[in-house]
Amino acid sequence: MPNYVDFEVQITPRTISERVQELGRELADLRPLFEQFSADFYKDTKRIYGTMRTRPNWKNYRFRDLSPKYKKRKKRISPYGKIYPIMFLTGRLVASLTSRQSRDSINIIKRDRFVIGTSVPYAIYHHSKQTPRRRLPRRILWDDDEKFEGGKSRMYQRWHRMIDKHFEKLAQGAFEGK
C-alpha cells in the first residue's frame, strides 16, 4: 500500500475561459469600487472641514490670512459679522464637498468612469495651482498630492488599497467558485 494520498485536479480550457470571462465582466463594471471612493471622499472632506471649523489653522491646512480689505468686506457681509473661520462665509462650497446631496456637488459614477468635485464657480480660484494667483490665495479643498512626501496624498493611498482589495476579491470569487 502506497504511503501517500492521491489527489487529482482536472482543469479544462473551458473552465478557465469561463472564469476569466466572468472576471472580465465584473471588472468592466467598477461602480462598486467608485461608490467606495465617493464615500471615502465625503467622509474625508467632512473630517477636514469639521476640523477647520473648530481649529482654522489645522496643521495640514494652514491658510494665508485674509487681506485687510477682504476682512472688512467679510465682516460686513457675514450673517454673524464673523471673519473666521476662513472659507465658511455662505457654506455653499463646503456643503458641495461634504455631501453628495448638495445642489453643487458633482458625483458621477458610471461603469467605467468616476468624477467627483464641485460646481461652485469660485472653487477653481481656491484650488488651482495656477500662479501668480490673481484672485484668491490657494486654499486646497481636499487632500492634495503636493503636501505629502512622495507626492501621494492619503486619499490616493487609501484608494489604491481599495483597488487592490476590490480586484483581489473579484479574482478570488472568479477562481474559487465564489
Residue 41 lies in a domain: yes
As for how many domains the chain has, the answer is 1
Residue 16 placed within a domain: no
pLDDT digits (tens, 9 = 90+) for 1-27: 556 665 555 556 666 777 778 878 878
For 162, phi then psi, to 5°, come to -65, -40
Q: Which of 79, 63, 78, 80 is CA-nearest to residue 147? A: 63
Q: Is 5 within a domain?
A: no
**What's the whole-model pTM score?**
0.74
In the prediction, which pLDDT does 157 show? 85
Q: What is the pLDDT of residues 52-79, one digit of tens each?
A: 665 544 444 556 777 888 888 888 888 7
Return the pLDDT at 59: 46
**C-alpha span between 152 and 141 (Å, rounded):** 16
Q: For 45, left (φ over 0), alpha (ψ -120 to 50), or beta?
A: alpha
In a domain, 7, yes or no: no
Give the model's pLDDT for residue 88.
Answer: 78
Residue 6: inside a domain: no
- Using only C-alpha atoms, what is the Rg of the chain? 24
What DSSP element (H or E) covers 113?
A: strand 113-118
Going by pLDDT thresholds of 50, 70 and 90, the confidence category of residue 43 is very high
User: Is 2 inside a domain boundary?
Assistant: no
Q: Across residues 95-119, what is the average pLDDT? A: 92
Mean pLDDT comparison of 7-11, 88-92, 145-149, highest-scoring range: 88-92
Phi, then psi, of 19 in degrees rounded to 5 = -70, -35
pLDDT at 45 over 80: yes
Calculate mean pLDDT across residues 159-169.
90
Domain region containing 108: 29-175
Look at residue 165 and tell me if it is in a domain. yes
CA–CA gap between residue 92 and residue 87 (Å, rounded): 10
For 119, the grid coordinates are 460646481
Look at residue 145 and tell me whether its pLDDT is greater than 70. Answer: no
Residue 94 forms part of a structural domain: yes
